[in-house]
Amino acid sequence: MFEMIALPYNMNDLEPYVSQQTFEYHYGKHYKNYVDTLNKLIAGTEFENMTLEEIIKAVYGKPEYQAIFNNAGQVFNHQFFWHSMKPNGGGKPNAKLLKQIEEQFGSYEDFAKEFKNTAISQFGSGWAWLVSDDRGLKIIKTANADTPIAHGQIPIIGIDVWEHAYYLDYQNRRSDFIDVFLNNLVNWPQI
């Protein structure tokens, strides 16, 4: 059984960039539904006592477990996304991570441009990520519930670009939401 994780801030702490109303729906209804549905799907199965990551890796690519993958992936992705934002966030990461980004992408500005383009170009629902794998840093997008950890990649930051993540605050302007994420919200990990 999985429980919802607590948000690492209050629902109105990210205003005016993400409204309390968005969190009431996104955290309180969408995320809750993924957790509840996952619990129903795994009850009494071989997956019942696995960690989220173990479940995702065990069911990835198996059509008979698509519903479990979708809900487990969305639970993981949302929990990661909640922690990818913070009040008074945004801007560049610490010096060590910034150096890695500059080595990989040329400059922070080039990174931000590619991240934004990747997030905009995810057709339909999905996610954009900065990940690391055995070849270094990479910007990727994943569709629907797909998640970097299914592909052996370690997420560093991730943004939800399903419409439910931004429509109440930005309507169809996904581009504005991505700008705000990078400039005002992103919570870079301390690595």
**Which residues are at the interface with Mn ion (CB under 5 A)?**
160, 162, 165
Nearest residue relative to Mn ion (C-beta): 160
Q: Report the distance separating Cα 184 and Cα 161, nearest Å.
A: 16
**Smaller CB separation from Mn ion, 172 or 190:** 172
Which is nearer to Mn ion, 68 or 97 (by Cβ)? 68
C-beta of 101: minimal distance to Mn ion in Å? 25
Nearer of residues 23 and 105 to Mn ion, judged by Cβ = 23
User: At 5, is the secondary structure helix, strand, or coil?
Assistant: coil
List Cα–Cα distances, 84 to 78, 103, 130, 166, in angstroms: 9, 22, 11, 15
Tell me how far, at minimum, the Cβ of 164 lies from Mn ion, in Å.
5
Min CB(18)–Mn ion separation in Å: 12
Q: How far is the CB of 77 from Mn ion (least distance, A)?
A: 7
Of 97 and 140, nearer to Mn ion (C-beta) is 140
Q: Which two tokens stand for residue 161?
A: 């670009």
Burial class (CB in 10 A: 0-12, 13-18, 19+), 174: buried
> Are the C-beta atoms of residues 3 and 52 closer than 8 Å to each other?
no
Cβ nearer to Mn ion, comparing 160 with 169: 160
Least distance CB 160 / Mn ion (angstroms): 4
Coil, helix or strand at residue 162 = coil
| Other C-beta atoms lying within 10 Å of the C-beta of residue 57 | 17
- Contact yes or no for 146/162 (Cβ under 8 A): no
DSSP category for residue 85:
B
Handedness of CA 4, 12, 190, 108 (dihedral sign): positive
Nearer to Mn ion, 111 or 162 (CB): 162
Beta carbon of residue 174, minimum distance to Mn ion (angstroms, whole number): 13
